[in-house]
Chains A and B, each alone.
Chain A
């Protein structure tokens, strides 16, 4: 049966004549190189092709671990963010505008973030489609791995839990920083209510995990988050083990779409900036 399907697909592919003329190959190489060179130069010069390092003001509604999530409008919105300056590479980006129109779920086209958000003349970190964040590992003296709500967090954080709410989680890729990876996952729920419900359940389990751990070596905190002037609702969960920077997961929903940003332990938390880039591209 499988062989039959393979044969049919192979036959279909072979019937599409694909030119392999070496003379034309040189033309293609020239064409591609002409498009690639300025982009590589721009990246080397530290110009982000997508988005900008706009100021991010985060309004946190820190919930007591026993408090319940209330779906609905986010916490009060802080003053406006600064608008990103027009990129000097707008002319290059125009080439991709048409495809960018359909790219909202996976983030901006050629998504890249500055290496250092506080510096202007730095390189950028492009979203690499093959990068994944490492799974969270608690120490042997922690109750994390034996606490049901904590174990469930892995599914919530990856947007994989509750398949009945529709959509499927995809990895958009990861940003490789000097200290580790920041992974981005996305999911398109069947309805806005389903997306909000997902966030509420994730917060409930995260808060439950935090309460259950008490003075465990792993400290979990769950906070509802609203990004300045940005649509949607968000949740930030931190897993602190004594490292300088805790593992942090941001989940943000906007309508039916959701993004989860996982920042590995020890990595600068760029979650708000990444969520903001994603929201701008939608």
Chain B
């Protein structure tokens, strides 16, 4: 067995579930997620680069999943078209956030692909703003803007369930007169 085949076998056995979940978070649709992972794995392993360990290969596949998602109007359209199905799904509650899952899925479906990718990378994959920017090939400022816009949209959809996770604390500097309002 060639080395890439060994890495592929381990990747599928150990990490395919996580990859499909990641793709599902981007697309909101299981079938589209499976397609995305399928395409990304084939693309990654078809290229003549060295793939001699699973973690490196997984990083490449994840990056390719993200690029394919952002690059594919079809995947984005699928995510949007499934919104009503996600809202209609009835999951049995299992914890304090359980009843929110369908609503969250529906709310995510209202985001643009870039906004959704930023939210998933920042708050599902737990990447920093800088790492998210690197993954998406955009500036950190672009990531912050997308997250800000996405959060505004999610708040519209979900109300108080979501705050502003990246809100900067506001510093209040007392003025000489003791007032906190700016003078005009």
Residues on A facing B (Cβ under 8 Å) = 1-2, 4-13, 15-16, 18-20, 22, 25, 28-29, 32-33, 35-36, 39-40, 43-44, 96, 98-99, 101-103, 105-106, 110, 123-124, 126, 128-130, 160, 168-173, 185
Known A9-B104, A12-B101; further 15 A-B contacts with Cβ < 8 A: A1-B164, A2-B165, A5-B119, A8-B104, A9-B25, A15-B91, A15-B101, A25-B16, A29-B8, A43-B48, A101-B73, A102-B72, A106-B67, A128-B47, A172-B137
User: Which residues of the other chain, B, contact A172 by a CB distance below 8 angstroms?
Assistant: 67, 137
In contact, B137 and A170 (Cβ under 8 angstroms): yes
User: Which residues of the other chain, A, contact B164 by a CB distance below 8 angstroms?
Assistant: 1
Known A-B contacts A8-B100, A13-B124, A29-B9; A43 and B46 likewise in contact (beta carbons under 8 Å): yes
Asked if B97 is at the interface of the complex by the 8 Å CB criterion, the answer is: yes
**C-alpha gap A22/B12 in the complex (Å):** 9
User: Which residues of the other chain, A, contact B43 by a CB distance below 8 angstroms?
Assistant: 110
Asked if B84 is at the interface of the complex by the 8 Å CB criterion, the answer is: no
**C-alpha gap A39/B164 in the complex (Å):** 46
In contact, B42 and A35 (Cβ under 8 angstroms): yes
Asked if B126 is at the interface of the complex by the 8 Å CB criterion, the answer is: yes
In contact, A19 and B17 (Cβ under 8 angstroms): yes
In contact, A32 and B48 (Cβ under 8 angstroms): no
A161 to chain B, nearest CB (A): 11
User: Which residues of the other chain, A, contact B139 by a CB distance below 8 angstroms?
Assistant: 160, 169
Asked if B30 is at the interface of the complex by the 8 Å CB criterion, the answer is: yes
User: Which residues of the other chain, B, contact A173 by a CB distance below 8 angstroms?
Assistant: 67
* CB-CB nearest in chain A for B9: A29
User: Which residues of the other chain, A, contact B105 by a CB distance below 8 angstroms?
Assistant: 12
Asked if B52 is at the interface of the complex by the 8 Å CB criterion, the answer is: no
| Most chain B CB inside 10 Å of its own CB: which residue of A123, A124, A129, A130 | A129
**C-alpha gap A128/B44 in the complex (Å):** 9
In contact, A98 and B42 (Cβ under 8 angstroms): no
Q: Which of A5, A12, A129, A160 contacts B25 (CB 8 A)?
A: A12
In contact, B142 and A8 (Cβ under 8 angstroms): no
Known A-B contacts A1-B164, A96-B39; A28 and B124 likewise in contact (beta carbons under 8 Å): no
In contact, A106 and B71 (Cβ under 8 angstroms): yes
In contact, B42 and A16 (Cβ under 8 angstroms): no
In contact, B161 and A102 (Cβ under 8 angstroms): no
User: Which residues of the other chain, B, contact A36 by a CB distance below 8 angstroms?
Assistant: 4, 8, 42, 45-46
* CB-CB nearest in chain A for B19: A18
Mark each residue of chain B from 143 to 184: 1 if its CB lies under 8 Å from any CB of chain A, else 0.
000000000001000000111111100000000000000000
* CB-CB nearest in chain B for A99: B72
In contact, B46 and A6 (Cβ under 8 angstroms): no
User: Which residues of the other chain, A, contact B16 by a CB distance below 8 angstroms?
Assistant: 18, 20, 25, 28
Q: Which of B8, B30, B101, B104 contacts A33 (CB 8 A)?
A: B8
Asked if B20 is at the interface of the complex by the 8 Å CB criterion, the answer is: yes
In contact, A29 and B137 (Cβ under 8 angstroms): no
**C-alpha gap A103/B70 in the complex (Å):** 9
**C-alpha gap A12/B95 in the complex (Å):** 12
In contact, B46 and A12 (Cβ under 8 angstroms): no
**C-alpha gap A102/B138 in the complex (Å):** 20
* CB-CB nearest in chain B for A160: B139
User: Can you show 13 pairs from A to B with CB atoms below 8 A apart?
Assistant: A1-B162, A4-B163, A8-B162, A9-B25, A9-B120, A11-B98, A15-B101, A16-B24, A36-B42, A36-B45, A43-B48, A44-B48, A168-B138
Which of B63-79 touch A at CB < 8 Å? Answer: 63-64, 67-68, 70-75
In contact, A28 and B97 (Cβ under 8 angstroms): no
**C-alpha gap A4/B167 in the complex (Å):** 14
* CB-CB nearest in chain A for B42: A35
Asked if B111 is at the interface of the complex by the 8 Å CB criterion, the answer is: no
In contact, B47 and A99 (Cβ under 8 angstroms): no
Known A-B contacts A98-B74, A102-B73, A169-B138; A32 and B104 likewise in contact (beta carbons under 8 Å): no
User: Which residues of the other chain, B, contact A102 by a CB distance below 8 angstroms?
Assistant: 71-75
